[in-house]
């Protein structure tokens, strides 16, 4: 090799014939150029040629580079934006690739990997690279990255069954599915047919309700099926990953445009401390050209029965409890569409409006209802509002208060 272009061409040729071990003989001047700064110029040329990893030794007297265990990708695609990284990962995963190399620009690499630190507890859960993997349906995978080359390599052992089934159907290669995936496909197809309605939002609501009816939440870590649509649809139990995978699968089979969304969330319980978050998975769905949040996990398991607190939400409500990377996610509808909220959900900008909501709920004989306060000033009266409910109730009832959603939930009337 006499020039840098020769190095790139030689490595590319070795990749084309599948060579894992080879030698490059350089001129003295070229060796001096690429040897500078601990071979940083050489690493850039290797990246340009599609080399994702290798072991390299050198002879500085004869100007020879000895490569072994080289992995070289053909047809390198340079990625500059999160959208490009997601689209490329989705494309490769759908094609059945078990190893995906993301050749990132400086800016994209910093965005996707920048906040990963092995010394900061909990720092990795919100790193955008996890969101890229989730949107491609990656379930069991590892990744490595190089600050020198700005290459991120995803090694995939398994996709979420929902993604695997959808990919198989789109490619026409159902033979790649396992027996359990085939059974989940059959169950999902029957459910999608049963839930189909004229309007996409009605279809989504039907799927939401059926999943709430048939799944019990579990945090049992003894089986991976609980993390998937297989656990949700065949075993009737799942965690948030399983709920989201099931909604993605059934919704997609029903003709909806559904995405996985990875992120963090505040504890959905009754009390909160600053910074109390955990990793979480939910879905996004496109309705009338805008994206909305659906979290079936959190709408299930309530003693009040099926609720719609986390169904069809815009940015204004979703961001109160859910945390995600805006750089690697589609923008949500700015404000929740109030015209399609459930009839037992009331909005209150004052104590007086909350009391009027109570009167309406009792007049309509709701066994459960929710009052969502517009702001913290209005929510300050929720104890007084609760007393008003107690005065009107003929018997005991149950309630919960969510001080992030500013929501008073009443059930068991």
H-type alpha helices, 65-125: 82-94, 106-113
| Residues 195 and 313 reside in one and the same domain | yes
| Residues 299 and 264 reside in one and the same domain | yes
Q: What is the dihedral of CA 126, 127, 129, 131, to 10 degrees?
A: 20
| Residues 65 and 203 reside in one and the same domain | no
| Residues 148 and 42 reside in one and the same domain | no
All residues at 6 or more sequence positions from 4 whose CB lies less than 8 Å from its CB, including other chains? 30, 33, 34, 41, 45
Residue 120 confidence (pLDDT) above 80: no
**Cβ proximity of 195 and 303 under 8 Å:** no
pLDDT at residue 123, rounded to an integer: 40
CATH of the domain at 199: 3.10.620
Q: For 263-297, how does the pLDDT look when each residue is reduced to its tens digit (9 = 90+)?
A: 988 865 534 444 567 889 999 999 999 999 999 99
Residue identified by tokens 């945390």 is 323
Q: In this structure, is residue 168 part of a structural domain?
A: no
| Segment among 19-28, 55-64, 288-297, 302-311 with least mean pLDDT | 302-311
Q: Which residues pair with 278 in a beta bridge?
A: 265
| Residues 246 and 309 reside in one and the same domain | yes
Q: In this structure, is residue 221 part of a structural domain?
A: yes
Q: In this structure, is residue 164 part of a structural domain?
A: no
Q: What pTM was computed for the model? A: 0.85
3-state helix, strand, coil in the chain (%, to 5): 45, 25, 30
Q: In this structure, is residue 165 part of a structural domain?
A: no
Average pLDDT, the chain: 90
Q: In this structure, is residue 169 part of a structural domain?
A: no
Q: How confident is the model at residue 56 (pLDDT cuts 50, 70, 90)?
A: very high
| Residues 364 and 232 reside in one and the same domain | no
> Span 292-305, mean pLDDT?
83
In the chain, how many domains are there?
A: 4
> Span 194-223, mean pLDDT?
92
| Residues 212 and 284 reside in one and the same domain | yes
| Residues 190 and 301 reside in one and the same domain | yes
Out of 282, 316, 338, pick the residue that ends a domain. 338
Out of 159, 190, 223, pick the residue that ends a domain. 159
Residue 159, CA distances (Å) to 79, 224, 281 in order: 22, 12, 15
Least Cα distance to 31 among 64, 57, 5 occurs for: 64
227-253 exposure pattern, b = at least 16 Cβ within 10 A, e = fewer: bbbbbbbbbebbbbbbbbbbbbbbbbb
CATH of the domain at 392: 3.30.110
Ranges assigned E (strand) in 334-388: 345-348, 368-373
Out of 338, 369, 389, pick the residue that ends a domain. 338
| Residues 203 and 130 reside in one and the same domain | no
| Residues 232 and 264 reside in one and the same domain | yes
Ranges assigned E (strand) in 10-114: 22-25, 51-59, 64-72, 78-79, 99-104
| Residues 325 and 264 reside in one and the same domain | yes
151-177 exposure pattern, b = at least 16 Cβ within 10 A, e = fewer: bbbbebebbbbbbbbbbbeeeeeeeeb
Alpha carbons 241 and 247: distance in angstroms, whole number:
10
| Segment among 85-89, 133-137, 254-258, 326-330 with least mean pLDDT | 326-330
Question: Residue 272 in 3-state DSSP?
Answer: coil
Domain of 390 in residue numbering reads as 345-411
Q: At 265, list the tokens.
A: 């969330």
pLDDT at residue 258, rounded to an integer: 98
Q: In this structure, is residue 135 part of a structural domain?
A: yes
| Residues 20 and 144 reside in one and the same domain | no
Q: In this structure, is residue 61 part of a structural domain?
A: yes
Alpha carbons 411 and 413: distance in angstroms, whole number:
6
pLDDT at residue 118, rounded to an integer: 46
Q: In this structure, is residue 167 part of a structural domain?
A: no
CATH of the domain at 142: 3.30.1370
Alpha carbons 186 and 233: distance in angstroms, whole number:
10
């Amino acid at each position: 090799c006499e020039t840098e272009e020769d190095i790139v061409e030689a490595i590319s040729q070795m990749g084309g014939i599948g060579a894992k071990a080879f030698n490059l003989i350089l001129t003295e001047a070229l060796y001096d150029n690429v040897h500078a700064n601990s071979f940083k110029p050489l690493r850039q040329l290797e990246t340009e040629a599609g080399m994702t990893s290798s072991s390299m030794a050198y002879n500085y007297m004869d100007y020879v580079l000895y490569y072994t265990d080289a992995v070289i990708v053909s047809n390198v695609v340079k990625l500059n934006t999160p959208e490009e990284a997601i689209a490329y990962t989705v494309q490769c995963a759908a094609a059945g690739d078990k190893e995906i190399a993301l050749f990132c620009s400086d800016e994209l690499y910093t965005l996707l990997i920048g906040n990963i630190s092995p010394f900061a507890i909990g720092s990795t859960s919100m790193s955008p690279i996890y969101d890229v993997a989730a949107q491609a349906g990656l379930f069991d995978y590892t990744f490595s990255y190089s600050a020198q080359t700005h290459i991120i390599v995803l090694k995939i052992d398994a996709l979420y069954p929902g993604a695997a089934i959808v990919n198989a159907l789109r490619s026409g290669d159902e033979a790649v599915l396992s027996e359990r995936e085939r059974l989940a496909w059959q169950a999902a197809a029957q459910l999608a047919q049963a839930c189909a309605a004229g309007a996409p939002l009605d279809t989504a609501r039907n799927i939401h309700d059926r999943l709430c009816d048939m799944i019990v939440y579990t945090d049992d870590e003894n089986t991976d099926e609980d993390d998937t649509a297989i656990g949700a649809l065949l075993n009737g139990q799942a965690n948030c990953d399983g709920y989201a995978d099931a909604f993605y699968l059934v919704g997609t089979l029903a003709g909806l445009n559904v995405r996985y969304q990875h992120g963090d969330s505040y504890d959905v319980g009754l009390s909160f401390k600053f910074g109390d978050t955990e990793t979480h998975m939910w879905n996004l769905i496109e309705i009338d050209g805008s994206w909305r949040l659906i979290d079936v996990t959190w709408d299930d398991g309530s003693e009040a029965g099926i609720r719609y607190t986390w169904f069809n939400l815009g940015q204004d409500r979703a961001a109160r409890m859910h945390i995600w990377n805006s750089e690697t996610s589609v923008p949500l509808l700015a404000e929740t569409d109030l015209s399609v909220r459930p009839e037992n959900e009331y909005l209150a900008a004052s104590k007086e409006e909350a009391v009027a909501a109570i009167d309406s709920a009792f007049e309509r004989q709701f066994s459960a209802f929710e009052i969502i306060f517009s702001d913290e000033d209005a929510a300050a009266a929720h104890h007084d509002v609760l007393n008003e409910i107690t005065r009107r109730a003929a018997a005991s009832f149950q309630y919960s208060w969510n001080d992030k959603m500013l929501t008073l939930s009443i059930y068991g009337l």
